[in-house]
Structure 1
């Protein structure tokens, strides 16, 4: 059975304009186009659209989705990968929600949150990041987190709060720069990304190649994308492009 573009749009909760755009960029072609220009979609197109929308819910960019789907070796394996991404994101949000609840109880005097409990979530996040770095960039990249851990070993809760506030302030300025239409490879963007590089380097001694690779992590890892895009979901791809440009133009990184 085939469905019209308006029927598919209604079923999927998207606009017909979105479906036409997906067709124009080669992401989702209709099964057939009639002589009067009407687009028609079959079951295989509906399954592909479902996968596209699953990835969009994870804030994966359209070019990335195209690349992911082009590399799929079967619908079942693709859906298993999507399930892993969704499950990882759900678990991350569950941990954040649990920490927020415990912190609210602490602030409201209902249940004093022990300091070691406060840092438990930070340790779990650091362990997850180390595992991600090791998987993506090898043992050398993951091992550098030990240096970062040593540098923050003496930190108190107020030190972490200040670091978080500084990070939010920087991401806020980066977001405003993006929203003003500044090209991520422009000198203006690179000047503010320099602050991001210095902040990262102070905690994690990245070389130019590792800083360039950090862009992939910000775009592709749900945890890091969630941190960067907490207030602006369009910031991660912009910042990733700016980081790549900074590594090339300011750190003299050369692709191998």
Structure 2
């Protein structure tokens, strides 16, 4: 069975102009072209078109799509791979949906918005260059790959742990505990242990922790997480001092 280019366009939503372009670049070739120049597509052509559409939805450009298609000859295996990519994207979109819902809820209830909630599901490339500059490309690459490969449950568990740490840091800072206090140093040890769960961290753990401690206080994206209130920014300084003491004495 075959379908004309007009029928394929109507069924798929892909314009005739785009289908002709795919033919011209040999991405989706019609099963035959009539004497009058009309293109016709059989089931195999439609399968190839479906794969192209799936890969475009996943953000690949035509050059990359061609590379992917050229590497896979087993259609079932190829579609299974595409399905895995779709599942990964589905998890990302679910996280993105949750982050927007969290922001709406925080705005409605006048709560402080947590950056890890607001930006969960977004592309973390903005941090890639910064990590690469501070701790090297290898660290950035390993951390980025690790984050992208995490499933929704693992990401949730990882973020839940930092939320607990943040709340405990704020509680100690709000209580007026000194950064050198035993309780603060025990929390610093837990924080460092949490940091060690991220692959690719530098061998020089002391410099790494000292750099992060300074970043927590200096960078508003991090400092806001440790604010005791909208006008009380003591929390980030408290975390910085406690981590610096821990790093100097234990790393």
Give TM-score scaled by structure 2 length: 0.51
Equivalence for 1:138: none
Q: Secondary structure at the match of 2:40?
A: strand
Q: Give 1:159's aligned residue.
A: 220
| RMSD between aligned residues | 3.9
Counting matched residue pairs gives: 154
Q: Deviations over 1:63-89 (max 9, x none)?
A: 111111111131111111111111111
The answer for unaligned runs of 5 or more in structure 2 is 128-141, 150-198, 224-251
Give, in angstroms, the shift of residue 104 of structure 1. Answer: 2.2
Name 1:131's counterpart in structure 2.
Answer: 146
Q: 1:73 to 1:10 in 2, by over 3 A?
A: same
SS of 1:108's partner is: helix
Deviates more, 1:71-80 or 1:152-161: 152-161
For residues 12 and 116 of structure 1, the distance between their equivalents in structure 2, rounded to whole angstroms, comes to: 39
Distance 2:18 2:115 in 1: 48
CA distance in 2 between partners of 1:37 and 1:54 (Å): 28
Q: Which residue matches 2:6?
A: 6
Q: Is the CA contact (8 Å cut-off) linking 1:115 and 1:157 kept in structure 2?
A: no
- Is the CA contact 1:30–1:45 (under 8 Å) kept in the aligned structure 2? yes
Q: CA, structure 1 residues 59+34, in 2 after alignment: closer, same or farther (shift >3 Å)?
A: same
Name the CA distance, whole Å, in 2 between partners of 1:83 and 1:25.
Answer: 25
Q: Residue 83 of structure 2 corresponds to which residue in structure 1?
A: 83
Runs (4+) of structure 1 moved beyond 4 Å? 113-122, 125-128, 144-150
Q: Secondary structure at the match of 1:40?
A: strand
Structure 1 distance, partners of 2:71, 2:116, is: 42
Larger Rg: 2
> What is the match of residue 101 of structure 2?
101
**TM-score computed with the length of structure 1 as normaliser:** 0.50
- Cα distance per residue 1:102-150 (max 9 Å; x no partner): 222222226x35859749949xx6997242689xxxxxxx615898974
Q: Go from structure 1 to structure 2 and tell me whether the alpha carbon gap of 1:72 and 1:130 turns closer, same or farther (over 3 Å shift).
A: closer
1:143-222 equivalences under 5 Å are: 143=200, 150=209, 151-153=211-213, 154-155=215-216, 159-160=220-221
Q: The residue matched to 1:36 in structure 2 has which SS?
A: coil
- Structure 1 unaligned runs (5+)? 135-141, 163-256
SS state of the match for residue 216, structure 2? coil
- 1:39-76 residue CA offsets vs partner (Å, 9 max, x unmatched): 11100000110110111112210011111111113111
